[in-house]
Amino acid sequence: MTDAADLTATELLAAYEAGALSPVEAAEAVLARIDRDDPELDAFCLVDPDTTLDMARAAADRRRRGAALGALDGVPVSIKDVFLTRGWPTLRGSTTIDPAGPWDEDSPAVARLREQGAVFVGKTTTPEFAWKGVTDGPLTGVTRNPWDPSRTPGGSSGGAAAAVAAGMAPLALGTDGGGSVRIPAAFTGTFTIKPTYGRVPHYPVSPFGTLAHTGPMTNTVADAALLLDAICGADGRDWSALPPPDVLFAEGGPDDLTGLRVAFSPDLGFARVDPEVTASVAAAAEAFAALGAKVEQADPGFADPVEAFEVLWFAGAAKVVEHLSAAERERLDPGLREICEQGARYSAVDYLTATARRMDLGRLMGLFHERYDLLLTPTMPIAAFEAGAEVPAGSPSPRWTSWTPFTYPFNMTQQPAASVPCGFTSEGLPIGLQVVGARHADALVMAACAAYERAYPWKRFSRT
């Protein structure tokens, strides 16, 4: 009999409707999976079985009465520990935040999930203040990849991705300021989308400003659509939030991609990519063509914007810690402390120059998408590397931005960008395909990923 912890959200909902499974049984299954696997993976920084089971019992009672609150009523979900969650501490991976709170407010996405009746499983790990592309830090230690626990799951939403991949919750909330849902999705063989900026309301405002997005993390595109539908829409606390989309993402799209104009860029014109990654992503581009898309190899035509991104990112990090005392700063992750010191040295002119570079990049990509509906690239140029390290062994740079060239450019442009599994290395590690659309083309990106998933289903992680 299939373990309920291995079911997707879509499968759980069907089982609830059929009376074959209850939300309580689903909650018990994921809690048992956490007990079994999280001591090794360290995906959760907070698990509260009493609250989880209380929420599950309430959902089961509503379903018995035919009074479900929403499409996700009774479905387990994990929450990255940067989202305010009423009743639970939000420590953001840092020892400098007082767990005593008060914790009396939900972030917008958490509030929408609570209104839908989702069952909160716990808070997932993040590097301190979500500052880097791997998940380890002074508060929670090292989070590990289910496919190979000696490897990183990526970050900064590494705990969320590891939890989804390992069956510790079918749905997860993550954030992405430079790749933080797409990096771990690629490393763990899971699906995610960084929606258009503003598609999901965000509060409190991120110190990294308009680089930061909220996104769903799941095992399937259908599950991500359900979660994205639940958390979209306006919230008065976010003045930049977009209105809800006219059509639900869960309604899907066509089974083929006939007529789509698709650009495939294996390296964006400047990135160094592992040959195994290149081969898998090229095969995925051929699969898009087999589904009816007109695929051409084409680069967008921009140089690596890493210097501008680092000005924006490192200045944001300096803002995060500006209120801390000298003694508190000494407790920070050493890498975070270094970039904060660098970020504090930038001038207003430096920041505005980086912003101008960002705006020019946005203009270029806007024109590019007049010619192409979608852009395909690798999500990551490499597979998962050693856990506990910011960069792979032998890296000439100490910073995470040196190995994430495909992700941060599209935070700068605020475009929707998904990562969908597309293969494995010879060592059995997942490889991700990035699917990028024009701003506001979230539905097209999701539909294209769904069509690819249906035609080329991928192997999910299994411990057995």
- Report the catalytic residues: 80, 156, 180
**What count of Cα atoms within 13 Å lies in the side-chain half-sphere of residue 46?**
24
The backbone torsions φ and ψ at residue 165, rounded to the nearest 5 degrees and listed phi first, read -60, -40
Residues with Cβ < 8 Å from 233, sequence gap 6 or more? 112, 201, 241, 243, 244
The torsion of the CA quartet 249, 252, 253, 256, rounded to 10 degrees, works out to: 130
CB burial of 260-278 (b: ≥16 within 10 Å; e: otherwise) equals bebbbbbbbeebebeebbe
Do 174 and 79 contact (CB within 8 A), yes or no?
no
Residue with tokens 């946005």: 362
Q: What single-letter DSSP state applies at residue 79?
A: E
**Quick one: DSSP state of residue 121?**
E
Phi, psi of 235 (to 5 degrees): -145, 130
**Other CB atoms closer than 10 Å to residue 97's CB: what's the count?**
17
Number of H helices, E strands in the chain: 14, 13
Task: Give the whole-angstrom CA distance, residue 291 versus residue 456.
Answer: 10
3-state secondary structure of 459: coil
Q: Per residue in 119-148, is it b (16+ CB within 10 Å) or e — as a string? A: bbbbbbbbbbbbbbbbbbbbbbebbbbbbb
CB of 270 closer than 8 Å to CB of 382: no
- Taking only Cα atoms into account, the Rg of the chain, rounded to an integer number of angstroms, comes to 21
